[in-house]
Structure 1
Amino acid sequence: MTAAPSAGAPLFAGWRAVPLPGDAPGRAIQLMHVVRELRGGLHADAVLAAGLGPLEATLATDHDGTPFGRATGELIAKFFTWPEPYPVPEPEVIARRAAAEDATDDLMASVFSVLDRHESDELIELLRFGHGH
């Protein structure tokens, strides 16, 4: 993560600068958080580049990758206490939101492209292990 660009991801940059804990579990948790902040910053950039505002993008969300598991955009908007009523996203907004998700995945893929085959396989195995597989 030290070589990952931090432009457009200020929370990532800040968390990356925090000294890592001395114990392995603490380091792992902090590093996972750093990666999450990188993806979050890149995703915010992709959402804005798609011409969407935060509420629009949130309402156009309906997938498993939320902090709540499978959740609708309306549930997430309520969590963030955005005032109701919420507009129903048009199909064009949903398509732009999906394109922003794809762009985020592409940006993250470039970050992980620095890993060699062995490192990539090891990361995948560790992530599978962490999910109990």
Structure 2
Amino acid sequence: MTLAEEFKSRNFSIYGQWTGVLCIFLCFALGVANIFHFGLVIIFSVICLVCSFIIIFIEIPLLLRICPTSPVFDNFIRKFETNYMRAAIYGVMSIIQWISISVAATSLIAAAVVLLLAAVFYALAGVKGQAFQGSKTLGGQGVAQMII
């Protein structure tokens, strides 16, 4: 299945996964950009950076096979294999970034919005009863199992 066919499949988990990939880059960039603020914004920018690395392993399952990680971390990441669990983790990450507004209105709001969008896509996939379908481009659908 090509990338265009994946988007035409109308499976919201595919949309959520690609929105998650966008979140990786956005959270990393905004985390680095806001780390130079003074005050409590630094805490939220560090959390945003950490979220970007967690999302990398959630959305690109091939990395769990390639990167040396601990069994505890692997088990933590494997908890997010269903649409509802992914919606929950993205929702929590979004709420944390929305709370950053109470400290100062920064560009972390953009990360909060896109994280919320990913949570909505995964929640819609769960509500519609769509099975999680990982993108072949990102290492899903048997690609990760081919690595020994």
TM-score bucket (shorter structure): 0.3 to 0.5
Compare CA radii of gyration and give the structure with the larger one: 1
Structure with the bigger percentage of helix: 2
Tell me which of the two structures has the higher relative contact order, counting C-alpha pairs closer than 8 angstroms and 6 or more residues apart.
Answer: 2
TM-score of the pair, normalised by structure 1? 0.32
Normalising by structure 2, report the TM-score. 0.30
Which structure has the highest strand share of the two?
1
